[in-house]
Amino acid sequence: MGDKGFSAHFSIVCFFSIFVTMHLVLGDLSYSFLEEMERGSVIGNVAKDLGVDLRTLSSRRARVDIEGTRKRYCDININTGDLFISERIDREGLCGKKASCVVKIDLVFENPLELHRVSLLVQDVNDNSPKFRENLMKMEIRESSEKGSRFSIGVAHDADIGQNDIQRYILQTNEHFILAVENKVVALVLENKLDREKQKEINLLLTALDGGSPQKSGSVVIHVTVLDANDNAPVFTQAVYKASVPENSPPETLVITVSATDADEGVNGEVTYLFGHISGEDASLFSIDAKTGKITIAGEIDFEETTSFEMSVGAKDGLGLIAYTKVLINIEDKNDNVPQIFLKSLSNPIPENVATDTEVGIINVQDRDSEKNGQVRCSIQENIPFKLVSSIKNYYSLITTGQLDREQVSYYNITITATDEGSPPLSSSKTLQLSVADINDNPPVFEEQSYSAYVSENNKPGSTLCSVSARDKDWRQNGTVIYSLLPGEVNGASLSSYLSINGDTGAINALRSFDYEHPFLKENYEQQL
Ligand SMILES: *[C@@H]1O[C@H](CO)[C@@H](O)[C@H](O)[C@H]1NC(C)=O
Ligand SMILES: *[C@@H]1O[C@H](CO)[C@@H](O)[C@H](O)[C@H]1NC(C)=O
């Protein structure tokens, strides 16, 4: 105890010394005094209180008697009769929390032998501070705790009693807690809800105060760890994710990685990814890695089927709070479709006398790809009397560019080639056979300019005299030659009475027996078309 403490103590001694009272109950004495008084402090005068002459104290060998090894505490000054403190008296050591602390000593006189019981009432002095069991109290409180929740904390102890014992607690002003003390139970009461994501740890200073004078106090720091509650849903880094991927990309091609974070801890903050609403077909085209959020290709992506996908992707934390984001996947066209050629109409065969610039066919080309990949140019080979003229989009007319002659070229293999403008370009071709129909535009031509035959007279009627032959370059009927004799007269008789011709074979037969002596016979014939 310092000087200040001592002077305070001293004043208490003075104050109490007025009240140090003497009790004489059946010859017994009682003194009340403060603990921890200095050695030699007088607490009473037994000579006076017992009404004994001072001089007899010495002769009667007055003394404080103790039993065994017990402490003596007090002694008597036989010259003055004063009872004084001979040893430190610590009330807490003697009596603990007992409300009254009485130490009994015996005062012995001899000759004649006399025993006086003296009760020493040791009064408490506020010489102990309130003490908490530890300097730091650790608590864990879940952030989901409701307002008004109570959390009991350990109380402080003060060895002193009565007013000198703990009278109240003070909690340092803070945002979240107030203090409730009831029936010696101290509790923190939640006033404002906690939020671990804002403040993970809170230190509170709790002070216990006693009622002594001077007042003593003891403090403890309450370290509150705010435990996580799954109060945060995952949050995606973007509200919409946009990606672009070429069609026909092989499986496992990475499209995009989505990412969400969850402010909670542990399981509460563990995010797994999944597809939200997605149509059954789309679901088989893409897959998502639950852990990494990587969206990859799982099926065949065909731009010509679908040019873009919109899907919802969810992020779920360990306890099922879920957040969604939108993923837009744009599919890029690849030149993967060969142009197709369709023959829409064709005049086949076409007559060989068809006029130049006549449309003989209509061709349509189609390419399922887009933009340049779907732009198609069409051509046919050169050196044929045809050309392609582009009419409306993707339609071409096949037009004649010159005179046809079936007898020269009876059909054309026209190869149409369609090529798109992709890179690399794709092309396809189609060959159509266009026949040229006959027109009867060629007269029959005899193999010889003239035919001569010599016949012996007296020939048999019906014998063949000779054969003529003509050819016609036209087709079938138009090229079939029928022979006939032109009408004529020989010596007044018709020619047909002398000769006949086989229309099919051109064989000329005699109809009668000729007589040399008859005038010269001249054969004549004519073809018939
Ligand atoms: C036309 O095509 C046919 C088969 O398609 C072929 O047999 C014929 O030789 C071709 N003709 C010409 C003149 O190329
Ligand atoms: C013969 O020519 C005519 C026109 O001169 C034509 O109409 C006819 O179809 C042709 N016959 C054959 C078998 O080609």
pLDDT tens digits, 35-69: 999 999 999 998 888 888 888 888 888 888 876 66
3-class DSSP assignment, residue 142: strand
Tell me, in angstroms, the distance from the centre of ligand 2 to residue 403's CA: 17
Tell me, in angstroms, the distance from the centre of ligand 1 to residue 413's CA: 6
Q: Nearest CA to 79 among 107, 30, 46, 115?
A: 46
3-class DSSP assignment, residue 287: strand
For residue 250, what is the DSSP state? P
pLDDT digits (tens, 9 = 90+) for 79-104: 999 999 998 888 888 887 888 888 88
3-class DSSP assignment, residue 338: coil
Residue nearest to atom 4 of ligand 2 (CA): 439
Amino acid at 192: N
Q: Which residues pair with 201 in a beta bridge?
A: 225
3-class DSSP assignment, residue 5: helix
Average the pLDDT over 425-451 and give the result: 94
Ligand 1 atom with least separation from CA of 431? 5
Residue nearest to atom 12 of ligand 1 (CA): 413
In this predicted structure, the answer to whether residue 3 has a pLDDT above a threshold of 60 is no
Average the pLDDT over 120-130 and give the result: 92
Mean pLDDT is lowest, of 191-200, 202-211, 492-501, for: 492-501
Q: What is the largest CA-CA distance in the chain?
A: 227
Residue nearest to atom 10 of ligand 1 (CA): 413
Q: Nearest CA to 13 among 34, 31, 36, 30?
A: 34
pTM over 0.75: no
Q: Which run of H or of E encompasses 29?
A: strand 29-34
**Ligand found nearest the CA of 431:** 1
Query: Which residues contact residue 98 at a Cβ distance below 8 angstroms, ignoring those fewer than 6 apart?
Result: 161
The response to whether residue 415 sits with its C-beta less than 6 Å from ligand 1 reads no
Determine the Cα–Cα distance for residues 432 and 224; give it in Å rounded to an integer.
90
In this predicted structure, the answer to whether residue 23 has a pLDDT above a threshold of 70 is no
Determine the Cα–Cα distance for residues 20 and 17; give it in Å rounded to an integer.
5
In this predicted structure, the answer to whether residue 4 has a pLDDT above a threshold of 70 is no
Beta strand pairing status for 240-246 and 322-332?
parallel
Q: Nearest CA to 319 among 204, 231, 402, 451?
A: 231
Of 383, 384, 406, 413, best ligand 1 pocket probe by most atoms within 8 Å of the beta carbon: 413
- Domains of the chain (ranges; CATH) run 24-123 (2.60.40.60), 136-227 (2.60.40.60), 235-332 (2.60.40.60), 340-437 (2.60.40.60), 442-528 (2.60.40.60)
In this predicted structure, the answer to whether residue 277 has a pLDDT above a threshold of 90 is no
Contact 445, 472 (CB under 8 A): yes
Residue 527, pLDDT score: 33
DSSP letters spanning 438-468: P------EESSS-------TTPPTT-EEEE-
**Ligand found nearest the CA of 415:** 1
Tell me, in angstroms, the distance from the centre of ligand 1 to residue 352's CA: 19
Taking all residues of the chain, what is their mean pLDDT, rounded to a whole number?
Answer: 86
Tell me, in angstroms, the distance from the centre of ligand 2 to residue 385's CA: 22
